[in-house]
């Protein structure tokens, strides 16, 4: 849980996801700097919801806007590990640590792309998280929408590089990572999920 992201970290998370939920929850218990609680089961209609999920309120020194993140355990496990790397990259490329993650939530009872038919979105099971930006300790907010493409300045290049590095590290932990490079629907956020597909775009 506390080691840097390694070659097999993503595979280990996938294996944990395939095992009993209690195994994953015990991994969250081992995290030294995680504030979380098990979420109550949710059933929404005939398909949406979850049996076991965790609600994070703080990961190391990082909080959230909105104030909490509820998702299935493997998603939260990957998120905790990822945010430690995002903090390191923020310090390296921007000279300030990570204070807060701005996000658009995890759960929405809907199908992919909002269609009325077809495959269900991983958001329908709180198995996906949409991250819109990062607030640093020095007060700067790095927005996926505003800073994915550099404005050519030194600061702009550093912000864009930080976002690229954040996507790259996410791709080592989550099964699907979609960014502004994927399509216009993702121009303002990173979509991170632990569903059955594999994609890093």
Which residue in this structure is represented by tokens 């990957």?
78
**pLDDT(115) > 90:** no
Answer whether 134's CB lies under 8 Å from 65's CB.
no
SS3 content of the chain, % helix, strand, coil (to 5): 35, 30, 35
Residues in contact with 170: Cβ distance below 8 Å, sequence separation at least 6, in sequence order: 82, 177, 190, 192
Distance between CA atoms of residues 134 and 86, nearest Å: 9
Of the chain, the end-to-end C-alpha distance in Å amounts to 26
- Tracing tokens 């097999």 back to the chain, one arrives at 8
pLDDT in tens, 181-197: 999 999 999 999 999 99
pLDDT of residue 146: 98
If DSSP codes are grouped into helix, strand and coil, which group holds residue 59? strand
Helix or strand run (H / E) with residue 137? none
The predicted structure's pLDDT at residue 113: 74
**Residue 21: per-residue pLDDT:** 95
Average pLDDT over residues 61-68: 97
Instruction: With a cut of 80, say whether residue 116 has pLDDT above it.
Output: no
pLDDT (tens digit, 9 = 90+) per residue, 124-176? Answer: 999 999 999 999 999 999 999 999 999 999 999 999 999 999 999 999 999 99
Mean pLDDT of 21-32: 96
pTM: 0.96
Compute the distance between CA of residue 201 and CA of residue 199 in angstroms, rounded to an integer: 6
118 confidence band (pLDDT: 50, 70, 90): confident
């Amino acid at each position: 849980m506390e080691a840097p992201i390694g070659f097999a970290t993503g595979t280990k998370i996938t294996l944990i996801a395939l095992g009993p939920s209690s195994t994953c929850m015990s991994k969250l218990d081992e995290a030294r700097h995680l504030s979380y609680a098990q979420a109550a089961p949710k059933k929404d209609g005939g398909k949406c919801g979850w049996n076991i999920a965790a609600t994070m309120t703080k990961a190391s020194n990082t909080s959230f806007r909105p104030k909490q993140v509820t998702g299935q355990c493997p998603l939260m496990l990957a998120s905790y590990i990822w945010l430690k790397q995002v903090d390191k990259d923020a310090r390296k490329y921007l000279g300030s640590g990570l204070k807060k993650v701005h996000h658009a939530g995890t759960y929405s009872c809907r199908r992919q792309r909002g269609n009325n038919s077809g495959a269900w979105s991983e958001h329908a099971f709180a198995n996906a998280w949409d991250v819109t930006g990062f607030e640093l300790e020095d007060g700067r907010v790095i927005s996926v929408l505003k800073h994915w493409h550099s404005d050519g300045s030194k600061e702009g290049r550093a912000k864009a590089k930080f976002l690229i590095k954040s996507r790259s590290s996410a791709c080592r932990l989550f099964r699907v990572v979609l960014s502004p490079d994927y399509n216009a629907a993702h121009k303002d956020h990173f979509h991170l999920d632990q569903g059955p597909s594999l994609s890093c775009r």
